[in-house]
Amino acid sequence: MDSLEQFIQSNPPSRELKRALAVQMIERGYSYRAIRDVLQVSIGFISNSNQSYEDKGVAGLKSNYWGTQGYLKAQQKQELFT
C-alpha cells in the first residue's frame, strides 16, 4: 500500500490518479457504487483498475498510451521551422 500512496502523491495524470484512488478506496472497504459516485467513473473502470493493480502492481495503473507515429520525417519538421 505504501507504493500506491507514493504513486498517488507523485501527481500522476488524472486517469492514472483515478485508477489509483479507486484501488485505494477498494482496499479501504468502500463499495464499487460509492467509488463510482465519488470519482465519477464506471463500475467497469473500477473493476479493471483493481484487476490490473492485482496483476501488475502500481505499474498496472499507468497508461500505456504513447501517442501516434508522426507523418513528417525529422528533416521535414526542421524545414517547417526555418
When the pLDDT of each residue in the chain is averaged and rounded to a whole number, the result is 91
Question: Which spans in 1-82 are helix H?
Answer: 2-9, 14-27, 32-39, 43-56, 74-80
**pLDDT tens-digit readout, 9-46:** 999 999 999 999 999 999 999 999 999 999 999 999 99
- What is the rounded distance in angstroms from the CA atom of residue 4 to the CA atom of residue 10? 10
For position 49, what pLDDT does the model report?
Answer: 96
**42 grid coordinates:** 464506471
- What is the rounded distance in angstroms from the CA atom of residue 37 to the CA atom of residue 14? 16
Residue with cell 526542421: 78
**pLDDT tens-digit readout, 43-80:** 999 999 999 999 999 999 998 766 788 888 888 888 88
Handedness of CA 1, 40, 11, 57 (dihedral sign): positive
For position 48, what pLDDT does the model report?
Answer: 96
Say if residue 1's pLDDT is above 70: no
